[in-house]
Structure 1
């Protein structure tokens, strides 16, 4: 087993069906940290059985799970990935390599849908609007606020991120930009996810996510 270079933080809520595929495709040098956020389908046991480090986050929310994983991680570089099989862990190196090489401080995966149903039009439209607002607020030109991203752990902790809901990824970009970080993105495949999204799988969920992110931008 090669030495661990990256801890991969996987927020998890009822992803039993997707976890075997996700954890089975980790690149060399990547250690999985699965953050269970209240699963009732046996996800923690499945993850542990597949060799992942599993921690429990009792505070519900995407940002809460991400930050709990960040605090529990040990590697100098950490990455984030949804546990729903919508992104291929084999492509994680596209995001982590520039950070490990010191070329950027924050790298994001720009999602490229592999099929028409992988990324519904209303979610793409909302994402484009958020990217436009980020550019206006920070000057950083991003085409996507994707869930695959990587940075140095201690630097992320120093940003003092506060959001514990859907605004966590956006707050990461905004605070990193304010701190003068080099931020970039690279294209990654976006696959039809396993099951329905816990954040944007319903119109109400999508509206809440946009509201969370709008609050972050208004601070």
Structure 2
């Protein structure tokens, strides 16, 4: 794992402005680990989605911009962060210490060089507790449904991704629940974007998952995403 303040990390970090959106609901225990791994020169936007553990104040004290989103939902938090961003490139990453935001450097490089329009992280679990069986099962179902709908041969619909901000805004995403990341990929495919996948280590999260921590939560997420896949293709211009 690259140390983000090392010469190697600084050399790899692409030029230009990058905002990292971090949806947050009671992640005080994970925030220090996550924020210290934001690459040098990048900007962290923590979107507080109703935390009661002091996450917002802690994030501010650690130098992040904090945005408050009162509507509960992963998509609501992500989109609030997108609207608050002003960098050319926006990244998304979970805020639970399961993913190292420093790994986004090559994602951004692919977007900057024009190799890809949207880069996604394919989660590679590190240890048996990193990715519960029910969450993997739900992800597999959705990946197959996505392939049928779009032709994209992706393996994961994980939260780590990089994209140009203005291009993403042009997709006019409307889902504000668990379907937000899937809708992003579906509409990107409809628009003819080059979507790429990169392997990333997936660590056991700090605290309990708010979305896929249980079978019930996982299948609720699958239901949300099925609604997205049922949408008619959008007329999207790049």
- Normalising by the residue count of structure 2, what TM-score does the alignment of the two structures yield? 0.89
Post-superposition offset of 1:197 = 0.5
Tell me if 1:150 matches 2:162.
Answer: yes
Q: Where does the alignment leave 5 or more consecutive residues of structure 1 unmatched?
A: none
The residue aligned with 2:35 is 23
Corresponding position of 2:125: 113
Distance 1:122 1:54 in 2: 32
1:189 corresponds, among 201, 206, 212, to: 201
Q: Distance in 1 between matches of 2:67 and 2:218?
A: 27
Conservation of the 8 A alpha-carbon contact between 1:107 and 1:185: yes
SS in 1 for 2:129: helix
What is the RMSD of the two structures over their aligned residues, measured on CA atoms? 1.4
Q: How does 1:1-219 map to 2 (within 5 A)?
A: 5-219=17-231
Matches of 2:220 and 2:133, distance apart in 1: 17
CA contact (8 A) 1:25 1:89 kept: yes
- Under a length normalisation based on structure 1, what TM-score does the superposition of the two structures give? 0.97
Q: Distance in 2 between matches of 1:182 and 1:12?
A: 29
How far has the Cα of 1:4 moved from its partner?
5.8
Distance 1:4 1:59 in 2: 32
* SS of residue paired to 1:216: helix
On the 8 A contact 2:134/2:218 being kept in 1, the answer is no
More deviation in 1-10 or 22-31?
1-10
How many residue pairs end up in the alignment? Answer: 219
Distance 1:15 1:72 in 2: 20
1:4–1:31: 8 Å Cα contact kept in structure 2?
no
